[in-house]
Amino acid sequence: MGIEKLTNKVEKQEKIVSMFDDIASTYDLANRVLSFGIDKQWRRKGCNKAYEILGKDTLTQITDVATGTGDLLIFWRDIAKQRGIDVKNFVGVDPSVGMLSVAKEKVDFAIFIEGKAQELPIEDESTDIISISYGIRNVVDRVEALQEFYRALKPEGIVVILEFTKQDRSGIINKFVDFGMKKVLPRVGGIISKNYEAYKYLPDSIEEFLTTEMLEKELQEAGFEMKYVKSFSMGISTLLVAQKV
């Protein structure tokens, strides 16, 4: 990789992290308003499906990457309790100091570590589950990140990805969804966070991201076996669950 291209990737990643630092204090409120709370259903589905596929009643560790304010860790804990699963350690990893600051105030049962998905500060084969919700498209070195997930997971460990993936929006309903994502979301998110550019970035980043099929292929190339793929809410959100083989 050329030095100029490497520098551009580093600068892009730093800009994304800085953006999340800036909106950290209003991030949870904006998520709830913009999704009408539906994102909670998506997260529950991801956790339940992973526990179901893994089929264990005792886990050493769950690692949530790009953890943000730690929202998903709460779902991991609560659903584990509902299913009678004992999870020894919960770990949240994120490059944004601002996000981690909010997470530490909100989630008192987890360990939080500043770190990048593509340089995961987790030991080899030490975690049963790795999750990343609405963060994989913000990882510039995505292939390296998936390789890191594979390295850190125990044999037969599970990776759970929730993401806004690129869709072919040709129908009337899909055009309505597209309008909401590109026009309404940035305005409402901008009002709540006082940062219009951050919420304009969201639909732009989705357009620049992969299709579900391409992300599946990248997971398989990293050594994972696909176990479950499901789109929700007219294709707005997609859940992918894969297992280390």
CA nearest 121: which of 154, 139, 94?
94
Give the mean pLDDT of 68-89.
Answer: 97
Q: Is 154 exposed, middle or buried (0-12, 13-18, 19+ CB in 10 A)?
A: middle
Instruction: Judge whether 194 and 200 are in contact, CB under 8 Å.
Output: no
**Burial profile 12-41: b = 16 or more Cβ within 10 angstroms, e = fewer:** ebeebbebbbbbbebbeebbeebbeeebee
Give the residue numbers of the binding site: 69, 94, 133
pLDDT band for position 4 (cuts 50, 70, 90): very low
- pLDDT score recorded for residue 237: 79
Bigger pLDDT: 163 vs 124: 124
Residue range 48-54: mean pLDDT, rounded: 97
What does the domain layout of the chain look like in residue ranges?
3-168+211-244
Using a pLDDT cut of 70, give the percent of the chain over it: 69
Structure tokens that stand for 30 in this block: 């904006």
Which top CATH class is 3-168+211-244?
Answer: alpha beta
Report whether pLDDT(51) > 70.
yes
Q: How far apart are CA 124 and CA 130, in angstroms?
A: 13
- pLDDT tens per residue across span 208-239: 657 888 899 999 999 999 999 998 866 677 99
* Residues annotated in a binding site for S-adenosyl-L-methionine: 69, 94, 133
CA–CA distances in Å: residue 201 to residues 33, 61, 138, 189: 17, 32, 10, 11
